[in-house]
């Protein structure tokens, strides 16, 4: 049975442009996978705690030495990781806020970056340990940033995901959404690209 993990990160909820594109992808995926499992992680409605010294120390601790509080932190991170590992595909809405990813998305990523669990350091550099999953990123922006040297959103996402082994990444862009008539043209193009992605599954 196929499993799709949907990460929601729009501060505007289901009204956000990235959320609407993701909903289109999810709907079509479910039509193609009527017995598939959809797992939704809404990191706006249910925020992931930001990384601090306590959480960092807990995630790097040895199992036999953890306090009860550290066990709780690791257990929470394990839940987030289990959702990723169980998924065949992951779709992430990634709106651009003030030149970066939503601040709520960063702690979700932080809880996935665990030495010896999702990546290993080797003499040739880090090696990601999560493999065999397709990731679809839905990049929505008010302005035009793609390939102009000011995109700090998708290059970061690609680098992070690749760091933990998720290298099969497709990106659908919807840019210029605050630029009048250009918005609908960009959204229509993004919708068409999403439809093609699902059709190719």
Report the half-sphere exposure of 29 (CA within 13 A, side-chain side).
23
**Alpha-carbon distance 159 to 155, whole Å?**
6
Q: What is the pLDDT of residues 81-137, one digit of tens each?
A: 999 999 999 999 999 999 999 999 999 999 999 999 999 999 988 999 999 999 999
Q: What's the maximum distance between 2 C-alpha atoms anywhere in the chain?
A: 59
3-state secondary structure of 173: strand
Asked if residue 180 has pLDDT above 90, the reply is: no
Q: What is the pLDDT of residues 52-92, one digit of tens each?
A: 999 999 999 998 899 999 999 999 999 999 999 999 999 99
pTM of the model: 0.94
Q: In this predicted structure, what is the pLDDT of residue 54? A: 97
Considering the chain, what percentage of its residues have pLDDT values greater than 70? 100
Q: In this predicted structure, what is the pLDDT of residue 145? A: 84
> Beta 134-140 vs 3-8: how paired, if at all?
unpaired
Asked if residue 149 has pLDDT above 90, the reply is: no
CATH number reported for the structural domain that contains residue 76 in this entry: 3.40.50.360
Structural domain count, the chain: 1
Considering the chain, what percentage of its residues have pLDDT values greater than 90? 84
Q: What are phi and psi of 47, to 5 degrees?
A: -65, 145
Between 181 and 8, where is the model more confident?
8
Domain that holds residue 62: 3-199
- CA torsion, ordered 82, 84, 85, 90, to nearest 10 deg: 150
């Amino acid at each position: 049975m196929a499993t799709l993990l949907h990460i929601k990160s729009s501060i505007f909820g289901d009204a956000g442009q990235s959320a609407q594109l993701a909903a289109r992808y999810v709907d079509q995926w479910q039509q193609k996978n009527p017995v598939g499992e959809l797992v939704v992680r809404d990191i706006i409605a249910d925020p992931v705690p930001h990384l601090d010294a306590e959480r960092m120390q807990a995630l790097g601790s040895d199992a036999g030495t953890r306090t009860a509080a550290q066990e709780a932190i690791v257990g929470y991170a394990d839940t987030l990781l289990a959702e990723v590992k169980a998924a065949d595909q992951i779709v992430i809405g990634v709106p651009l806020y003030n030149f970066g990813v939503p601040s709520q998305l960063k702690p979700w990523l932080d809880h996935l970056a665990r030495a010896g669990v999702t990546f290993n350091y080797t003499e040739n550099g880090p090696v990601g340990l999560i493999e065999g999953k397709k990731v679809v990123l839905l990049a929505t922006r008010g302005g035009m940033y793609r390939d102009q040297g000011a995109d700090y959103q998708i290059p970061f996402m690609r680098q992070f995901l690749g760091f933990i082994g998720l290298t099969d990444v497709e990106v659908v862009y919807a840019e210029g959404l605050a630029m009048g008539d250009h918005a609908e043209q960009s959204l229509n193009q993004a919708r068409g690209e999403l439809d093609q992605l699902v059709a190719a599954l």
